[in-house]
Amino acid sequence: MNPASEVLPGVLRTHLTATRQMTNDLATAEFRSGPMIWVALLPGLCIVPMLVIGAVVGLIITVPMLWQYDLAPSGEMIASLAMLVASPVIGALLIIGLPVFGTIARRRGYWGRELPEGAPLYADFGTEWIGCGWDGTYRTVMIGQLRRIRRISRVMVLSGGDAPLLIPEELVPDHIKADLLSGRWRQTMAVPGYPAARQAVYPGPGATSPAAEALHVEGVADDGLADRLARASRGSRAARTAVAVMAVAPLVAVGLVWLSEGALSWFTILPVVSVFGTGAAVLGYYLLYGNAAKLRDMTPPGAPIGADYGADWIGVRLGTYVQTVQRQEIKRVDDVDGVLVVTLRGLRTGILIPGELVPPQQRAELPGLGESGA
């Protein structure tokens, strides 16, 4: 599949329409390149070896005893030995397989909703930065900040700055792909870490007002900005809802198991503990550490920040991160610790806008949009 291309001011843009296979590849690459894979594997890596050791010790003790006393194993003993041998396999499937495949399935569902089949997807390649986006979302990474480039499941994973930038390889022209994979991008590592705050932001095909007509507000990140953004993210309605669901869902699952089985046992509880324990670990890591660490990398003191307010779209730049949304997609706006938390319709990712980037007129308009769309 050859992407169409066009030349915009300072960048080469390629674009394609999203396919189901493309979103599945993005989900797989995101999982394999991020910390979630270790969160999913860690319980299994701790427990499964213990099950293997237990099975081996049980066989060492039991089999010689049968041989020494010339005992004929009963059906119950054969079943116990079979369960002993199978326990590492069953444990690996329950403790490793379910979390891994469950996480990938959830991420595939997320990417399928975030980037529906047939939606326009585009990538920009400039001399100092690379970006990828679709309607309402746009992310960038500075070439001077790149640390590692990998190809995972037909996706180019560019690590640097904040979260890795994922670009389906179909969007990357062959000559640029060759430069990235060969390491020639390292020759540009002397490029300053951030672009000018007024670097052009392209809001995507869904917005009608050009970026040149937008109201632009810019600033510089201070020492406390990343912590304020992290607190606002933790205090958002989406985060509170996720914590509530994670607290209630295991109790509901245990209740359903008890109603169906009439009793609770280790083998019926283990899948629930494995799945929801992994989910709670992932959520806790993200809320307490992962998101805050990402925001500190994204907006260290001195990083440029900015916001653009068009007639029908809003864009925000936090360091190397850029996201744009259409005003009609805004469902609600909450002020949390001096940061505007913008919730979008459906299951799309919202945005955070530091209060210092919101002029009084825009601040008056945004809550009105949030209240009317609730």
Confidence grade of residue 354 (pLDDT, cut at 50, 70, 90): very high
Residue 225: name the closest of 296, 329, 290 by CA: 296
Domain ranges of the chain: 36-114, 230-298, 301-373
Distance of CA 150 to the CA centre of its chain: 17
Of 63-77, 128-142, 220-234, 332-346, the range with the lowest mean pLDDT is 63-77
Query: Is pLDDT larger for residue 301 or for residue 83?
Result: 301
- High-pLDDT (> 90) share of the chain, %: 7
**Highest mean pLDDT: which of 7-11, 230-234, 273-277?**
230-234
In this prediction, residue 213 carries a pLDDT of 72
Helix, strand, coil shares, percent, the chain, to 5: 55, 25, 25
Mean pLDDT is lowest, of 58-67, 123-132, 301-310, for 58-67
pLDDT over 90 (residue 168): yes
Q: Which two tokens stand for residue 200?
A: 């052009």
The per-residue pLDDT for range 211-265, each reduced to its tens digit, is 667 788 888 889 889 899 999 888 887 788 888 887 888 788 778 777 776 676 6
Residue scoring higher pLDDT (282 or 197)? 282
Average pLDDT, the chain: 75
pLDDT over 60 at 306, yes or no? yes
pLDDT at 274 over 80: no
Task: Enumerate residues 6+ apart whose C-beta is below 8 A from 325.
Answer: 136, 313, 314, 315, 342, 344, 351
